[in-house]
Structure 1
């Protein structure tokens, strides 16, 4: 069925330091090239890395950014939670066959049914085979991507101050280049976000050893204000943890430390 398709991009992980990824900006539909600078591991529900945004213009400096891709193939915790083994060449072959047959899109549409309609179907996740589990991970990855981009849009006024600036929502194409069917091509795309990179920072957990005692209260107050401000923008964060706050030094006279929620 797919002997004429090159599946190398689907099989192999492109996430190696020094590799250049070609991303598509989802809104402008323009291509963006980034070079991987550092992998932020372990990977849980997404694959995170520090990248340099490459420019074709010689007079434009590169920007260092943080890339978060919801790539179900290599998100270790997501696969473990679903009881799936690590991604292999056989996994890629089975997934490609499922997508190219049209069965993956049919199964994905079933997953999008409202919860109150599940009762009329006999099949549950206990009856799924491995390739259906893979498509379920794709479904979950898309939901996480959709939720995160929605949150960043709602927090637009806070971007670049108390939350990182969203540079772009992006897609990475991992499918065969000679595939024409748009629905099938869509299942060979990894979605993600490119955001401001907060460098030289430390988490709220470590402020006791990283800042002078007289600065502690001001930093804690900033973190509390940030958490409260989410509600003002209709965002409910059920995962407020001290490790989600990054503290960096600033060069401003009135505020020596900046707190950012990630």
Structure 2
């Protein structure tokens, strides 16, 4: 959701909350109602189940169960345990996204939004402060990026610019992997890449590509070996998730105006070349609008 910072004239920003209660996709995926989620009421949050969850938290059993999730990978057997599991997922998403933003701090405001603050609000106050996190919702406030989804560039940009704009997105993916050691597991040209139109002082139009939504991300530190890390990058194929998808879509509009080639990243040589090429480059030239 968008929020205005400061007074009524303050800048707009994005408030992103990691709230188990309203996370429809997560609740549906985990079958929060313990049955096939064919209808929304089968998995949506409700106040009756929340009462049981609050009691579970206050008793200390939710904290114990959350530890078992981590230690044993145990699955929930009732709604209180299910709400605990969903909350645990949301805490993980928050941790992953804030870690991602910290790791790629030099790119903030250039190729990803600026992370402006982290926040937390209490659903209700717990009697034992040790359990408060289980009845709180973490969140972030980040820069609002105006623009349109990369997937929609045929409706906004002349075909002569398609190659440059999509190549910029793919290059940012390469840079994030090579220079910052990050892996985005939910990258999508439709959902989390935006293109901003920039009007220069000289009247010329340029385009700036931004990535956002990094809750489903990992870093090099999450893998035991370089080989495992490179295999994960190869398997996820973030480049193809943008390049191949955009090539297929743009060919529907104007065949041949965007070209994309597969690259094998599993041996590490590809990222080594990128690191070498960026090592002495001026950062402003790397992240300026196209």
Regarding TM over 0.5, the answer is: yes
Q: Is the 8 A contact 1:167 1:194 kept in 2?
A: yes
In the alignment, structure 1 residue 88 sits paired with structure 2 residue 46 = yes
Note the C-alpha offset of 1:169: 1.4
Note the C-alpha offset of 1:76: 0.5
Note the C-alpha offset of 1:181: 1.7
Note the C-alpha offset of 1:112: 2.1
Q: Is the 8 A contact 2:58 2:127 kept in 1?
A: no
| Alignment partner, residue 214 of structure 1 | 160
Structure showing greater Rg: 2
Note the C-alpha offset of 1:241: 2.1
| Alignment partner, residue 78 of structure 2 | 129
Work out the CA distance in 1 between the residues paired with 2:197 and 2:52: 49
Q: 1:130 to 1:180 in 2, by over 3 A?
A: closer
Written as runs of structure 1 = structure 2, the 5 A alignment for 1:65-84 is 65-84=13-32
Residues 180-233 of structure 1, C-alpha deviations (whole Å, 9 max, x = no match):
42112221110111111112x111111112111222222112111111111110
1:104 aligned residue (62, 81, 84): 62
Work out the CA distance in 1 between the residues paired with 2:114 and 2:149: 18
Aligned Cα root-mean-square deviation (Å): 1.8
In the alignment, structure 1 residue 258 sits paired with structure 2 residue 208 = yes
Work out the CA distance in 2 between the residues paired with 1:77 and 1:237: 18
- 1:195 is paired with a residue of what secondary structure? strand
- 1:107 is paired with a residue of what secondary structure? helix
Work out the CA distance in 2 between the residues paired with 1:246 and 1:87: 31
Written as runs of structure 1 = structure 2, the 5 A alignment for 1:43-54 is 49-54=1-6
Q: TM-score, structure 2 length as denominator?
A: 0.64
Residues 108-130 of structure 1, C-alpha deviations (whole Å, 9 max, x = no match):
111221xxx55xxxxx42x6111
| Alignment partner, residue 233 of structure 1 | 180
| Alignment partner, residue 182 of structure 1 | 129
Which runs of 5 or more structure 2 residues have no equivalent in the other structure?
A: 33-42, 213-290
The 4+ residue runs of structure 1 with deviation greater than 4 A are: none
| Alignment partner, residue 138 of structure 2 | 191
Q: How many residues align?
A: 198
Q: Is the 8 A contact 2:53 2:79 kept in 1?
A: no
In the alignment, structure 1 residue 62 sits paired with structure 2 residue 10 = yes
- 1:136 is paired with a residue of what secondary structure? helix
Q: Is the 8 A contact 1:69 1:193 kept in 2?
A: yes
Say which structure is richer in strand: 1
1:142 aligned residue (66, 88, 91): 91
Work out the CA distance in 1 between the residues paired with 2:176 and 2:115: 16
Q: Is the 8 A contact 1:165 1:196 kept in 2?
A: yes
